[in-house]
């Protein structure tokens, strides 16, 4: 299965204003799913790694609202690294994509929009099991 073709960085609207800039995300307009959940990762100590799992059905969209970090994605065949550092760019991650988030800068803030509610059964936390489910 080639899910990798669906991974993409999406540029969000950016309304420039001398009072401060504004960006926006509308479900099914700027991202290809309905938003069921929003969570964020912050106060990450230097050198820590988040993620290291895939979701069976959940799609996600990640934005670096502040600071920077790297998102490393694996589709079961190859790995690609995306460096996120702009609040008007997000990374769309389809289902069945292994992800790892690392290299968080000080005070970075990752916001993640998800297509499904939190359910532990959605997680594939074993890389070999992930490879078995995509190949």
Among 6, 12, 36, 51, binds ligand TYD (CB under 6 A): 51
User: Among candidates 67, 73, 64, 69, which has minimal Cα distance to 104?
Assistant: 69
- Distance in Å, CB of 91 to ligand TYD, minimum: 14
The residues, any chain, with a CB within 8 Å of residue 70's CB and separated by 6 or more, are: 81, 82, 83, 84, 101, 102, 103
Binding test (CB under 6 A) with ligand TYD, winner from 8, 13, 21, 39: 39
Cα–Cα distance between 91 and 62 in angstroms, integer? 5
Residues recognised as catalytic: 53
The answer to whether residue 37 forms part of the interface with ligand TYD (CB under 6 A) is yes
Residues forming the site for ligand TYD (CB under 6 A)? 37, 39, 41, 50-51, 53, 118
């Amino acid at each position: 299965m080639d899910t990798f073709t669906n991974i993409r960085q999406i540029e969000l609207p950016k309304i420039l204003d001398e009072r401060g800039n504004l960006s926006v995300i509308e479900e099914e307009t700027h991202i290809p799913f309905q938003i069921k959940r929003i969570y964020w990762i912050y106060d990450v100590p230097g050198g820590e790694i988040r993620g290291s799992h895939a979701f069976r059905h959940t799609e996600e969209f990640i934005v670096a609202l502040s600071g920077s970090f790297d998102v490393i994605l694996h589709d079961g065949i190859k790995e690609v690294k995306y460096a996120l550092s702009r609040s008007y760019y997000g990374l769309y991650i389809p289902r069945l994509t292994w992800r790892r988030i690392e290299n968080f800068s000080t005070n970075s803030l990752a916001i993640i929009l998800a297509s499904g509610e939190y359910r532990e059964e959605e997680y594939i936390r074993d890389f070999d099991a992930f490879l078995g489910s995509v190949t």
